[in-house]
Amino acid sequence: MIDRDAVREFVAALLRRKDDMSAFTDTDSLVLSGRLDSIEILQIVVFLEDRGIDFSDQEFDQEAFDSIARIMTRIEVRA
- CATH number at 57 reads 1.10.1200
- Per-residue pLDDT of 33-58, as tens digits, reads 999 999 999 999 999 999 999 888 87
Per-residue pLDDT for 59 more than 80?
Answer: no
Smallest Cα–Cα separation from 38: which of 27, 49, 47, 30?
A: 30
39's CB contacts (< 8 A; 6+ apart) are none
In which domain, by residue range, is 21 found? 4-78
Q: How confident is the model at residue 61 (pLDDT cuts 50, 70, 90)?
A: confident
How many CB atoms sit inside 10 A of residue 21's CB? Answer: 8
pLDDT of the residue at 14:
97
CA distance 20 to 17: 7
Per-residue model confidence (pLDDT) at position 57: 81
pTM, two decimals, is 0.91
Domain count, the chain: 1
pLDDT for 11 beyond 90: yes
